[in-house]
């Protein structure tokens, strides 16, 4: 079972995954992208190539793990966290470790090999959001998980599969990045009695120079201190702490915002890989006044060099105002 270990200086948890047993020679291999629909485990008709589904939206009457679905969620074949077992929390001298218990599932966003979120029907994007929501609400019932995240890796070099998919990861601890967001937001809330994210959104909407897209419900903008060129954030305009509690009437608006952001990015940066991540409140009511859920979208254009990882100081060659202007002016149908 993979192990979680805490760095005593940075208070950062690391997943040590010895099953993967990487020896020096393993790092030379380039992992192949499964690009042939015949052998792609995510294509319709190949359901037997994945573990058994945990959720599927499918035509009524079709059997689980067979054809007939339009969104399908399955456990990852090489999970970074194992779903069963003891928490195994222990001290090793002055160090802290625990078993890497959690959930790691794959959301297959479409049965079709050649469609991505940016060129799927808006209906399909909506269905994917519904699937995220429904599966998260189910996973949240397990009190052992403190946090969960939706992550998408897309494109050559960042994903092993070209078929459009994303990951759901539930962890037994609150990840460091989220802890940092909570801390910044909590401090601001204590001082101002207002949500930090709500204030950022108001300023961005008013100023306009970093806005890429907005409607009544959602705003897409390039953050003031964007770490990466063309980085974008999608946020509900009104205070909402948890993505998975998104209300029915907002799902269509989110689908439109997400698809617009991805389409503009892909049109401006054709073929470039990207990631997005949905940050939602940890599983507790105590964060609901000051945490505000959001999606971060990052095209993978720059390399992280020694200075960035050594200092935590990012260098962004494209001012977010310039990036936002180009994205805003990119027409999408």
- Give backbone dihedrals phi and psi of 4, rounded to 5 degrees, phi first: -100, 130
Task: Choose, by CB under 8 A, the member of 86, 94, 216, 331 that binds a second copy.
Answer: 94
Contact yes or no for 231/223 (Cβ under 8 A) = yes
- Span of 57-65, 122-130, 146-154, 235-243 interacting with a second copy by CB under 8 A: 146-154
Strand, helix or coil at 54? coil
Minimum CB distance to a second copy, residue 159 (Å): 8
Strand, helix or coil at 144? coil
- Span of 13-21, 33-41, 65-73, 281-289 interacting with a second copy by CB under 8 A: 13-21
Closest to a second copy by CB, 143 or 310: 310
Task: Choose, by CB under 8 A, the member of 41, 111, 172, 229 that binds a second copy.
Answer: 229
Minimum CB distance to a second copy, residue 25 (Å): 9
Minimum CB distance to a second copy, residue 146 (Å): 12
Active site residues: 165
CA distance 274 to 297: 7
CA distance 237 to 251: 14
Please name which of 206, 200, 205, 189 lies closest in space to residue 226, comparing C-alpha atoms.
200
CA distance 217 to 195: 17
Closest to a second copy by CB, 82 or 268: 268
Binding to a second copy (CB under 8 A) within 152-211 occurs at 152-153, 157-158, 167, 169, 171, 175-181, 184-185, 188, 196-197, 199-200, 203, 207
Binding to a second copy (CB under 8 A) within 263-322 occurs at 268-269, 272, 275-277, 279, 296, 298, 301-307, 309-320, 322
Task: Choose, by CB under 8 A, the member of 18, 61, 91, 143 that binds a second copy.
Answer: 18
Burial of 259 (0-12, 13-18, 19+ CB in 10 A): buried
CA distance 63 to 260: 34
């Amino acid at each position: 079972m993979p192990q979680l270990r805490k760095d005593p200086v940075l208070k950062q948890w690391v997943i040590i995954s010895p099953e993967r047993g990487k020896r020096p020679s393993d790092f030379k291999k380039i992992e192949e992208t499964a690009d042939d629909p015949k052998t792609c485990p995510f294509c319709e008709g190949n359901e037997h190539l994945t573990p058994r589904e945990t959720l599927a939206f499918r035509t009524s009457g079709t059997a689980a793990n067979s054809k007939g679905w339009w969104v399908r969620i399955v456990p990852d074949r090489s999970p970074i966290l194992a779903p069963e077992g003891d928490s195994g929390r222990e001290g090793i001298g002055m160090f802290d470790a625990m078993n890497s218990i959690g959930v790691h599932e794959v959301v297959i966003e479409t049965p079709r090999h050649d469609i991505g979120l940016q060129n799927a029907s808006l209906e399909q994007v909506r269905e994917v959001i519904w699937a995220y929501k429904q599966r998260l609400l189910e996973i949240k019932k397990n009190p052992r998980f403190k946090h969960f995240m939706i992550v998408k890796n897309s494109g050559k070099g960042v994903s092993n599969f070209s078929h459009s998919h994303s990951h759901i990861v539930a962890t037994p601890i609150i990840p460091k990045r989220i802890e940092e967001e909570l801390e910044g937001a909590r401090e601001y809330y204590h001082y101002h009695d207002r949500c930090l994210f709500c204030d950022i959104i108001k300023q961005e909407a008013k100023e306009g120079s970093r806005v890429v897209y907005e409607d009544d419900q959602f705003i897409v903008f390039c953050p003031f201190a964007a770490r990466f060129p063309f980085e974008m954030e999608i946020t509900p305009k009104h205070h909402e702490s948890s993505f998975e509690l998104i209300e029915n009437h907002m799902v269509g608006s989110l689908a439109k915002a997400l698809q617009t952001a991805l389409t503009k990015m892909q049109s401006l940066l054709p073929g470039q890989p990207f990631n997005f991540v949905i940050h939602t409140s940890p599983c507790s009511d105590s964060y609901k006044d000051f945490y505000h859920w959001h999606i971060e979208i990052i095209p993978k254009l720059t390399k992280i060099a020694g200075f960035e990882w050594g200092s935590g100081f990012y260098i962004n060659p494209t001012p977010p105002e310039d990036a936002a202007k180009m994205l805003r002016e990119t027409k999408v149908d």
